[in-house]
Amino acid sequence: MPSMHIIVFCFDRQKEALKKKLENFFPSHPDVKDIKILVAGEIAAGKSSFINSINSAFQGRISSRALVNSAAGNSHSFTQKLKGFTIRSGKKTLPFVFKDIMGLESETLAGAQIEDIINAVFGHVLTNEDQHYNSDPNLSDRSFCLVYDIAANIVHYIDDQLIDKLKDIRQKISDMGITQVVVMTKVDEACPLVKKDLRKMYTSKKIKEKMELCSAIIGVPLTNIFPVKNYHDEIDTDDDIDVLILKALEQIVQLADDRLENAESY
């Protein structure tokens, strides 16, 4: 089995260490006070839930700042406008902002369009308070990591049209050196072993297969694919869920900051 980030770690000891590291993080560029990270993905993959789960891990309670659609059978994106979400630990606002964009759909004119995502990455469109086109974005407006949210339980069923969209997005932002990662959600629905015990994530053959398929479909390396479980129907936070969420966040933030450090070379 590939390393899967070699984090068959002690979950109990990792949570506070991860929180402290992220709370003490500062962007490497003096002109950027917070790192922007764009979250994109198929409808119902769990983009908003991932953002809420990050906030929940820091707050120690279930957070629902990003609205999530719980209606069954909804075939269109619940998120309609680009929204930015800060992450707080206690009363401290952390120096990274997650942007949530309309979900991708396979139909040509449905959901977020390829250019919507490209424009959001490069800061040409900001947030729901300011949706106009920004022709001259500064460094602080730009996103330095694009996170694809993909549900593990349906990755085998992503249709060709949506795959083509994902590949087109990847090619266009790769040309500009933007970091891309996959957050693989709903792992508990993809593997009975993991559903029973989340600590089995990194020994699960099914999760490994899902990661490899994601890598093949989108072209993101295995080292940039992070399997997680979002908070969904829980009423309290859970250390095992938090550690997976925080470990994914740590890697995402570091990769984004690496790109920021070299921003002026692109």
Q: Does any domain span residue 209? A: yes
Please give the model's pTM, rounded to 2 decimal places: 0.84
Q: Are strands 83-89 and 92-100 parallel, antiparallel or unpaired?
A: antiparallel
Helical residues (DSSP H) of the chain, grouped into ranges: 11-23, 47-59, 114-121, 160-174, 187-190, 192-196, 205-218, 239-261
Residue 131 binned pLDDT confidence (cut-offs 50, 70, 90): low
- The more confidently predicted of residues 170 and 12 is 170
Domain that holds residue 247: 4-67+77-265
Q: Tokens standing for 148?
A: 């694809």
Predicted confidence (pLDDT) per residue in 44-96, tens digit: 667 888 999 999 999 999 988 655 544 444 444 434 478 889 999 988 999 99
Contact 221, 167 (CB under 8 A): no
Distance CA(70)–CA(248), nearest Å, equals 24
> How far apart, in Å, do the first and last CA atoms of the chain sit?
35
pLDDT over threshold 80, residue 223 = yes
Residue 59 belongs to domain with CATH number? 3.40.50.300
Distance CA(51)–CA(65), nearest Å, equals 8
Q: Does any domain span residue 169? A: yes
Cα–Cα separations (whole angstroms), residue 247 to 8, 21, 200, 225: 12, 11, 16, 11
What is the structure's pLDDT at 265?
Answer: 54
Q: How many domains does the chain have?
A: 1
Q: What is the mean pLDDT of residues 20-29?
A: 94
Q: What is the mean pLDDT of residues 151-162?
A: 85
3-state SS class at 150: strand
Predicted confidence (pLDDT) per residue in 167-198, tens digit: 888 888 887 788 899 999 999 999 999 999 99
Q: Does any domain span residue 72? A: no
Tell me how many degrees the CA angle 233-237-239 measures, rounded to the nearest 5: 125
Beta-bridge mates of residue 150: 184
Distance CA(266)–CA(262), nearest Å, equals 8
pLDDT over threshold 90, residue 202 = no
